[in-house]
């Protein structure tokens, strides 16, 4: 089979398309023929060495496809099932393995491609809006990178929970997408001071929660957007890591809460994974959550896909097609 291999950390060019041996499922595992692999920003951090991974490795964890082989002791799925998961090991490949208990069977009406596009980012948007800070009517939230993969899903889920949504994006084109996803207001944060704008849009009151995936360039000003006792949810760092924070700043800026959540802890058990996934996939199946697959690249063009993602030229989901 073909897969992307990384032998040294570096730029997109370290993503090499190669022939490798097809893996076999061990006890409790299932082998999935990948129909589409999801690209997520975490793979950029791993490729560049910002997040440490033992070399060599095949990147990727998210995909949708069909179960083609199961190991001993597997009862969760059977051969022929259409599944998706954010825990497939090395999903930038034609085939990938997962623990069977981490696979989710796709409901009728959700294709493996849509499954690949929504598992990781959809469940992330879900836990952010429903668990980390459960949004409700009367809340206003600020969503950075609102036209991104997580961003477009988060805008929609925040709206369905009744919140007012202020989004930030870099271009007019992305602003239109964020509005389509439900953002009530959109700030072009490369041109305008988003803290001043957020204060203006909330008549000085500030927002109850900031969902910040951008990190270095937005973190400090995001604190200035919060109402007293608001929550700063730092869940990514696409512009780079945030400087260390003095907890006293949280007191000075209004007895703020700060959390740095990650999906793994919000789908830690199989029960929580299946509950969260079934809500998100159910919304996709009934058409109430729109998944925007913005870009599809052949597996062999993984380097090009990373280049586009890092250059901020993508909106919505980026998929690799083996």
Ligand X SMILES: NC(=O)c1ccc[n+]([C@@H]2O[C@H](COP(=O)([O-])OP(=O)(O)OC[C@H]3O[C@@H](n4cnc5c(N)ncnc54)[C@H](OP(=O)(O)O)[C@@H]3O)[C@@H](O)[C@H]2O)c1
Nearer to ligand X, 203 or 311 (CB): 311
- Map tokens 């945030």 to a residue: 242
On whether the CB atoms of residues 86 and 96 are closer than 8 A, the answer is no
Q: How far is the CB of 102 from ligand X (least distance, A)?
A: 16
- The set of residues, in sequence order, having a beta carbon less than 8 Å from that of 150 and lying 6+ positions away, is 121, 124, 125, 128, 213, 235, 236
Nearer to ligand X, 65 or 236 (CB): 236
Give residues in contact with ligand X (CB under 6 A): 40-42, 120-121, 124, 145, 147-151, 169-170, 174, 213-214, 217, 235-239, 261-263, 309-310, 312, 314
Nearest of 282, 153, 246 to residue 165 by alpha carbon: 153
Q: How far is the CB of 204 from ligand X (least distance, A)?
A: 26
Extract the tokens encoding 244.
């260390």
Query: Where do the DSSP E strands lie in 6-122?
Result: 16-19, 29-39, 62-70, 82-85, 95-99, 104-105
Strands 82-85, 104-105: pairing is antiparallel
- Map tokens 């500030």 to a residue: 206
Nearer to ligand X, 42 or 209 (CB): 42
Extract the tokens encoding 228.
């007293």
Nearer to ligand X, 170 or 307 (CB): 170
CA 246/CA 257 separation, integer angstroms: 13
Strands 317-321, 29-39: pairing is antiparallel
Cα 175 to its chain centre, rounded Å, is: 19
CA 169/CA 172 separation, integer angstroms: 8
CA 288/CA 142 separation, integer angstroms: 22
Nearer to ligand X, 70 or 291 (CB): 291
- The set of residues, in sequence order, having a beta carbon less than 8 Å from that of 252 and lying 6+ positions away, is none
């Amino acid at each position: 089979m073909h897969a992307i291999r990384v032998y040294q950390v570096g730029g997109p060019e370290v993503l090499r398309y190669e022939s490798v041996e097809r893996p076999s499922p061990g006890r409790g595992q299932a082998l999935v023929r990948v129909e589409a692999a999801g690209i997520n920003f975490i793979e950029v951090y791993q490729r560049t060495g910002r997040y440490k991974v033992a070399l060599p490795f095949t990147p990727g964890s998210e995909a949708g496809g069909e179960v083609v082989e199961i190991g001993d002791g597997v009862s969760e799925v059977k051969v022929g099932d259409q599944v998706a998961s954010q825990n497939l090991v090395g999903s930038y490949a034609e085939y990938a393995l997962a623990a069977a208990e981490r696979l989710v069977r796709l409901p009728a009406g959700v294709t493996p491609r849509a499954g690949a596009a929504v598992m990781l980012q959809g469940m992330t948007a879900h836990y952010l809006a429903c668990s980390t800070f459960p949004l409700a009517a009367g809340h206003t939230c600020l969503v950075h990178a609102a036209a991104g993969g997580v961003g477009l899903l988060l805008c929609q889920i925040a709206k369905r929970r009744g919140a007012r949504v202020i989004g930030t994006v870099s271009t007019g084109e992305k602003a239109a997408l964020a509005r389509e996803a439900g953002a009530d207001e959109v700030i072009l944060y490369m041109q305008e001071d988003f803290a001043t704008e957020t204060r203006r849009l909330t008549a000085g009151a500030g927002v109850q929660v900031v969902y910040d995936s951008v990190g270095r360039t937005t973190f400090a000003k995001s604190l200035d957007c919060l109402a007293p006792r608001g929550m700063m949810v730092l869940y990514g760092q696409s512009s780079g890591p945030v400087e260390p924070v003095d907890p006293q700043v949280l007191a000075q800026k209004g007895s703020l809460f700060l959390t740095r959540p990650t999906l793994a802890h919000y789908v830690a058990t199989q029960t929580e994974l299946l509950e969260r996934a079934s809500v998100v996939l159910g919304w996709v199946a009934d058409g109430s959550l729109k998944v925007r697959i913005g870009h599809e690249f052949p597996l062999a063009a993984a380097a090009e896909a990373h280049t586009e993602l890092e250059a901020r030229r993508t909106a919505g989901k980026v998929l690799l097609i083996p």
